[in-house]
Amino acid sequence: MDNILLPPPAQHLEDASVRGGLDLLVFAHKSHLQRADDELDRLGLGRAHHRMLYFVARRPGMMTSELIDMLQITKQSAARVLSALTDKGYLRQAACEHDRRRRLLYLTPGGTALEERIAAELRQNMKRAYAEAGEEAVRGYWMMMQRLMTPEMRRHFQSFYEGAARSSD
């Protein structure tokens, strides 16, 4: 493991290790998403747009209200981002068959192409990191990330993950 810092054994609950873990989250998040940020910036979009593209790509046909609840954003913020994605031709909304007041979200072919282009690099980076870290570390990562979530957010994640897995079958 060249150039990889690890906390000293049996000191993982010490403040320096906890702060270091927070540092890791911030630096890894920024580094991992930089390519996506650059691509989105060229298109006049940002991370909020990326999050919506990502979630709608993973669960086509999700209701706007589900997306707002999962992202824990206001209706106004969601409307602004959804409007921008719709205006740029990346997203479309359709009325729900059972309740015409509800809006279902889908990517357009252009939105699918953009999301796939961005996601391909992110998946490749995750795959590389997983391979270098090994299965035990990946299992630890999954455990750690879920433990960082509130119980409510963990329920959102589990429901989303299971639903996304079903929709990709």
Note the pLDDT tens digit of each residue in 120-155. Answer: 999 999 999 999 999 999 999 999 999 999 999 898
DSSP at 3: T
What is d(CA 86, CA 71) in angstroms, rounded to the nearest whole number?
19
Q: Between 86 and 99, whose confidence is greater? A: 86
Q: Which residues form the domain of 132?
A: 35-167
Looking at residue 113, which CATH number applies to its domain? 1.10.10.10
Q: How many domains does the chain have?
A: 1
Residue type, 101: R
With pLDDT > 90 as the criterion, what percentage of the chain qualifies?
67
Note the pLDDT tens digit of each residue in 48-89. Answer: 999 999 999 999 999 998 999 888 899 999 999 999 999 999
How many CA atoms lie within 13 Å of 54's alpha carbon, on the beta-carbon side?
18
- Structure token digits, residue 94: 């359709």
Residue 29 in domain: no
What is d(CA 169, CA 165) in angstroms, rounded to the nearest whole number?
7
Residue 106 in domain: yes
